[in-house]
Structure 1
Amino acid sequence: MTDSITFWVLAPLAVVFAGVSKAGFGSGAAFASAALLAIILPPTQALGLMLPLLMLIDLVTLRPYWGLWSWPEARILIVGGVGGVIAGVVLFNVASDDALRFLIGSVSLGFVAWQLWPRKGSQKPMPLRAGVIAGAVAGFTSFVSHAGGPPAAVYLLSRGLSKTAFQATTVLVFWALNLAKSVPYAMIGVFQADTLRMGALLAPFALLGAYLGIKLHHAVSERAFFTVTYVFLTVTGMKLIFDALS
């Protein structure tokens, strides 16, 4: 696969995009990278390729945001997230590649629909304890598709955090959840020699994306970034669902 021109066109773009999203825009759209890779790789291989790269991005982005997170929200999301990861292990053991493609594609389109759904008036902040449920959903979707960002974002945005506190909290939460995912991923054989070699070759692109994300956090509006993301996720999600059903 590393000899494929398609791979070397799409994979570096996907990894840079993941770095930019995680380091600068709250991780919500980072899972688009796994969705894109699932078009050119079997879903399990795509997930195994991305996790070490996401963990590398987490490691790089922890320092710039160190101590800027909101610990009460972070802690409760992590607690719920671990339970969601356990539920993800159960589903992952029985799901086929096409079922995973369909799930990743559905989450992609669902994320776009949620973002574009009209909302009227101010929304009441979710109680702190609701973070357990949001964390569980985030942990589950993160395990099966690296798509934990949206449910975590729904909860954190309702808590009224500043842009930087929101970003720092997501960095901490997904550093912890990705670390938690790595153990069952290794146990059920998601990591393979080929994907680890691919990941080593793509690591510089992950670092580049993280660097750009930190810089762009203050320079680019979230509206512009997510507009591009919505188009990207819509096309990718439809393609994955079509492939799964056909």
Structure 2
Amino acid sequence: MLPDPLFYAAAIPAVMLVGLTKGGMGGALALLGVPILTLVVDPVTAAAVMLPILIVMDGVALWSWRHHNHWPTMKIMLPGAMIGILLGWLTFSMVPYSLTKLLVGLATVSFAGKYFFDRLRPGPKEETPPAPQKPVKATIWSLVSGYTSFISHSGGPPFQIYTLPLKLDVKSYTGMSVRFFAIVNVVKLLPYYALGELRISNLIASASLLPVAIIATFLGAQVVKRMKMEVFYPFMYIMAFLAGLKLVVDGL
């Protein structure tokens, strides 16, 4: 049996926002998905319903960005993400998630805030060169990304803290981020199943929302493909800042 109409009144907007994000439009919209669903179901069920939808969105996004990637960044970040998922699984019932969200949110707000402060302050502006790859920093932030992705599908902000300063071209950045989270979400299936959250009722609810997910993801990808770098990166920093604020509010 499908959920009641009240569920869909919350779920359809939630899936549309997340789908636009999965297409490449930035992490802030994705953070709204689970909170909107929690208006009608409990938080754990909301996260469980979203996971299969996220994986289908990943498939659409992978097809849309199949010709673009940045393997050096992928290879340096995936090991930390896997450790973060494992830690999330092992500490699922023990960690105060509000504190985790607050700390990640504060770090993200500071990171994005500095970007805009440097550009809006009086005086001559110096263009910051692309940051070099730093394996230790990449491991730390990808671990946090994997962990927060596991507990609440909110791995975008810590991922952006490391990857945005690299200043990759728009298509390489988006293709790499799509692949990164596609792998993270597939790996999350096993621990979610082990925790008993992939119940038939949740899967039916997920399946009923897939058409909305596919359309929204495709639209998001088409918008990003038409963005220039001078538009894309300020937009992504705005999304990161808003995502950080959302995490701070959730944490508080």
TM-score between the two structures when normalised by the length of structure 2 = 0.80
Alignment correspondent of 1:199 = 206
Moved more, 152-161 or 43-52: 152-161
CA contact (8 A) 1:29 1:229 kept: no
1: CA distance, partners of 2:251 / 2:5: 23
Q: Aligned pair in 2 of structure 1 residues 56, 43: CA closer, same or farther (>3 Å)?
A: same
Q: Aligned pair in 2 of structure 1 residues 205, 225: CA closer, same or farther (>3 Å)?
A: farther
Superposed CA offset, 1:182-235 (max 9, x none): 111100112222211111111111111111111211346555688689669857
Report the alpha carbon displacement of residue 64 of structure 1 after superposing the two structures with TM. Answer: 2.0
Q: Give unmatched runs, 5+ long, in structure 1.
A: none
RMSD: 3.0
2: CA distance, partners of 1:229 / 1:70: 20
Alignment correspondent of 2:122 = none
Largest Rg, 1 or 2: 2
Partner AA of 2:202 in structure 1: T
Q: Give unmatched runs, 5+ long, in structure 2.
A: 119-125
- Counting matched residue pairs gives 236
Alignment correspondent of 2:9 = 9
Alignment correspondent of 1:43 = 43
Alignment correspondent of 1:128 = 134
2: CA distance, partners of 1:109 / 1:36: 18
Alignment correspondent of 1:162 = 169
Partner AA of 1:155 in structure 2: Y
CA contact (8 A) 2:28 2:239 kept: no
- Correspondence 1:179 to 2:180: no
Moved more, 120-129 or 56-65: 120-129
Secondary structure of the structure 2 residue equivalent to 1:190: coil
Identity of aligned residues (%): 24
Q: 1:148 aligns with which of 155, 162, 165?
A: 155
Report the alpha carbon displacement of residue 19 of structure 1 after superposing the two structures with TM. Answer: 0.9
Secondary structure of the structure 2 residue equivalent to 1:118: helix
- Correspondence 1:118 to 2:114: yes
Q: Aligned pair in 2 of structure 1 residues 137, 234: CA closer, same or farther (>3 Å)?
A: closer
Superposed CA offset, 1:161-180 (max 9, x none): 01111110000000111111
2: CA distance, partners of 1:70 / 1:23: 17
Superposed CA offset, 1:117-144 (max 9, x none): 2333637615331322221111111101
